[in-house]
Amino acid sequence: MKRRYLKKRAFRQAVLDEEGNVSPESIKELQKKLNNAENDDNIRLSAAESKVLAGVWIQFAGSALEAIGVTEELHELEQEEDDPRALALERQAVTGVWLQTIGTALAAFGFSLEVSPDREQEIQGRKLGIIGAWFEAYGAAMEALAETALLRADLDEQIPF
């Protein structure tokens, strides 16, 4: 991702002389400003990056709340459910939700690093984001498989919805 500097930079003197040529002083000043810009760590995020950053953290918060909620539901169900297969499937679904939450957290941390002006941090952030996406995908597959098996079992038992 390319970062842009939002701070306006101006020259102290005219860049061009009377004949329309770039003055040597302007070239020196430009070189100095470019050198300073390369060392400037105060790069601001674009509006789009800010929205993505806020979105990934909000998504993580929602995912964490879901994981906590389904875990509480599982604890209640363990007191009521007699079928060990159904309980195992419910545990699998909850584990899938937690894996998705871990993946979402990794993605959020990754994107936070990815918007860094430091190239190494950006690369580490991208790697974390990729690992997070795999956690999310594996967790979603785990949850979907468990929920599908639970639904099939409920349909076989003629449980109304």
Domain count of the fold of the chain? 2
Identify the residue with better confidence: 75 or 46: 75
Query: pTM of this prediction?
Result: 0.70
Which pLDDT score is estimated for 84?
A: 92
Give domain status of residue 113, yes or no: yes
Which pLDDT score is estimated for 7?
A: 47
Give domain status of residue 12, yes or no: yes
pLDDT digits (tens, 9 = 90+) for 5-14: 444 455 555 6
Amino acid at 57: W
Which pLDDT score is estimated for 74?
A: 96
Count CB atoms within 10 A of the CB of residue 43. Answer: 15
Are 76 and 4 in a shared domain? Answer: no
Count CB atoms within 10 A of the CB of residue 5. Answer: 11
Are 94 and 135 in a shared domain? Answer: yes
pLDDT digits (tens, 9 = 90+) for 103-134: 999 999 999 999 888 889 999 999 999 999 99
Tokens describing residue 85: 């297969």
The answer to whether residue 29 scores a pLDDT higher than 90 is: no
Are 31 and 91 in a shared domain? Answer: no
Query: 3-class DSSP state for residue 16?
Result: strand
Planar angle of CA 81, 62, 136, nearest 5 degrees: 80
Give domain status of residue 161, yes or no: no
Query: Residue 1 — very low, low, confident or very high, per pLDDT cuts 50/70/90?
Result: very low
Give domain status of residue 27, yes or no: yes
Q: Which residue range is the domain that position 31 belongs to?
A: 1-44
* DSSP sequence for 79-134: HH---HHHHHHHHHHHHHHHHHHHHHHHHHHHHHHHTSSSHHHHHHHHHHHHHHHH
Are 81 and 15 in a shared domain? Answer: no
Are 61 and 36 in a shared domain? Answer: no
Give domain status of residue 29, yes or no: yes
Exposure of 46 by Cβ count < 10 A (0-12 exposed, 13-18 middle, 19+ buried)? Answer: middle
Exposure of 76 by Cβ count < 10 A (0-12 exposed, 13-18 middle, 19+ buried)? Answer: exposed
